[in-house]
Each structure stands twice: as structure tokens, then as C-alpha cells.
Structure 1
């Protein structure tokens, strides 16, 4: 419940959430830089979900869940736990080996191997753990964990190689 309250504590974020609840947020406004900044916290907190058509919907069930924090990444490898606080990534590791281990964990946790994701979906998934979605996306492509279509229209998780 603390995460919900923290997500709604910012007045701008609360206004954005209210507009989503009232279905009073035009798609072009939802894509504005100011809205995207706050939308990540609302998506991460489970207050809002993005529907397949790209529209946003407030999820009232989030208020009916039991007490206690919802850990979206319960199986973080022990070596990586120091990079997380309250289910969020606090820093992207600088050491390439550790960063790669983190990226493997994130791609395995956030993406299904059998489907393509739009850039928006990739960003929304990464935003649940960290605000620098571009860096995470770029590192995953560079490390060969996500494959970007040649026309830039979609991303796929690369199947693990034995």
C-alpha cells in the first residue's frame, strides 16, 4: 500500500491518474514527455495498465490487494540484490559482466521469448524497474539479449543459446 500512496503522492501524477480514471486523457497527451515521466510510476505501481491498442486503463483491483509491497521481481539473483530497492533498479552496473547478468535477469523476467514487442512496450516494461529505458534497451540490444527489427518497428527476446 505504501507504493500506491507514494505513486499518488506527486500532485501531477495524481492529476494524470485522475484523468486516466475518468477516461479524459487524449492519446497525444499521454505521449507527451511530461505525461510519460509520471506514467512510468503509475504503470510500475499497477495503478494503470496499457491495453493492447495502446490506450490506458486504471486498474481498481490494485486497491483490493492485500497489505504489503508487491515485489515484481521476487527472484533477483543474490549477486544483483544490491542494485535493487523496493523492487526498483537503483543503478545500472558499470562492470560489463555484472551488467550483462542484470540484463539477462531483466529480459528473462520482463519479456516472453515467443512474441514481438513495440518500442513502447519495451519501454513500459523497463520503466517498471528503472527510468532510463533507453539505456536498458540499448544495452540489451548491444549484449544480444533483445533483437531489433531492421525497420525498428519491433523487438524480440533472443532465445538462450546453450
Structure 2
């Protein structure tokens, strides 16, 4: 895991703390004016030291800004940065940059929808996934499934699509797969 991805994971893990998440949500509700620790403590019905600790952690995570005099504001760019770091750490992210027409079919490095079969994107998706698999020989179905599971939940449908579009060849028994047509 890259340092950037580890940092993003830490941000998301730290936000799983109930008080931190409640404090951030309240700061978001307060908008650009933010709120003082006293106001947050009152609104959240939590002790001041607990709210102060939560806000200090939010600042350290980069999702809040403290003014130094007890006023805090949400900094949602920190969350966007963490989400972008997670997305960049996904195994298909580098290849997906070459296929901007497929961005709508992916979310955070995962295939979330298949293009319609008559769409040009259906064929292009096959090429992208073929490049991702980077097959250089014959593989059993379990290995193909394992590799595809890194980018999709519906492994069977994607594997079938790759065979249908010719990017993946299957033996007659349906147990061994190899590279299909070559990419230009």
C-alpha cells in the first residue's frame, strides 16, 4: 500500500469514531462560519474536552480548520483528497486513464455497470480489462476469477463478456483461459 493510500485509509478510519464524525457533520452544518468548541459541545450534548479532542483530530486529519481561538470549520477538500487517493490506489486506475469514455462505469476503481452490448464502450471495456488481466499464457478459471475480483463484484458476467468479445479465449471444457485477440 502506498503512503498516500495509507494516509487516506487513516483518515477514513479516524472518521469512524462517533464523536469525530458527529463533530465533522455539525461543522459542515455550520457552514463557512464554523463553530466554537462551546457551541459544538452544546449542540452535540457532549463534554467540552471530548469535543475539543475530536476537533483537534479532525484538524490533524485535514478535514477541519482551527482558528487557534477555539473556532473550527469543516474542510471537505480533505475528504475529497482521501477519496481520490483511495481511487488512485486501485489496481485499474492507471489503465482507466486511457479510457475516459468508461469512467462512468467505474466507481473508486470498481466496475459498477456494464455498457450496453450494442455500445462501442462494450468493446472498449473488453480491451481495458484484457490489458488489466495482462495474460501471457493459460490460466485456470480460479486465477481469472481472482484477478477480475480486484475490479468487479460480478466476476462471471465480466469473464463471459471478455469471452464474447474475443479478448479472452476459453478451451472447450471451459476450465482454461488464455489471451484472445491482440491489442493494437
TM-score by length of 1: 0.55
* In 1: Cα distance, 2:134 partner to 2:115 partner: 20
* In 2: Cα distance, 1:107 partner to 1:155 partner: 12
Aligned to 1:108: 131
* In 1: Cα distance, 2:168 partner to 2:128 partner: 12
Q: Secondary structure at the match of 1:156?
A: strand
Q: In structure 2, which of residues 106, 114, 119 is the aligned counterpart of residue 92 of structure 1? A: 114
Aligned to 1:123: 145
Query: Where do residues 119-158 of structure 1 align in structure 2 (5 Å cutoff)?
Result: 119-158=141-180
Aligned to 2:66: none
| Runs of 4+ off more than 2 Å | 1-6
Q: Secondary structure at the match of 2:169?
A: strand
Question: 1:121: Cα distance to partner?
Answer: 0.8
Query: Where do residues 21-32 of structure 1 align in structure 2 (5 Å cutoff)?
Result: none
* In 2: Cα distance, 1:71 partner to 1:139 partner: 22
Question: 1:160: Cα distance to partner?
Answer: 1.3
Larger radius of gyration: 2
Q: Secondary structure at the match of 2:123?
A: helix
Question: 1:89: Cα distance to partner?
Answer: 0.9
Query: Where does the alignment leave 5 or more consecutive residues of structure 1 unmatched?
Result: 10-67
Query: Where does the alignment leave 5 or more consecutive residues of structure 2 unmatched?
Result: 1-5, 17-84
Query: Which structure: greater helix fraction?
Result: 2
Note the aligned Cα RMSD (angstroms). 2.4
Q: Deviations over 1:67-121 (max 9, x none)?
A: x421312121111111111111111111432111111101111232x21111011
* In 2: Cα distance, 1:3 partner to 1:130 partner: 21
Q: In structure 1, which of residues 72, 87, 109 is the aligned counterpart of residue 91 of structure 2? A: 72
Question: 1:149: Cα distance to partner?
Answer: 1.1
Distance 1:145 1:129, change over 3 A: same
Q: Is the 8 A contact 2:162 2:168 kept in 1?
A: yes
Q: Deviations over 1:16-37 (max 9, x none)?
A: xxxxxxxxxxxxxxxxxxxxxx
Q: Deviations over 1:31-80 (max 9, x none)?
A: xxxxxxxxxxxxxxxxxxxxxxxxxxxxxxxxxxxxx4213121211111
TM-score by length of 2: 0.49
* In 2: Cα distance, 1:3 partner to 1:155 partner: 35
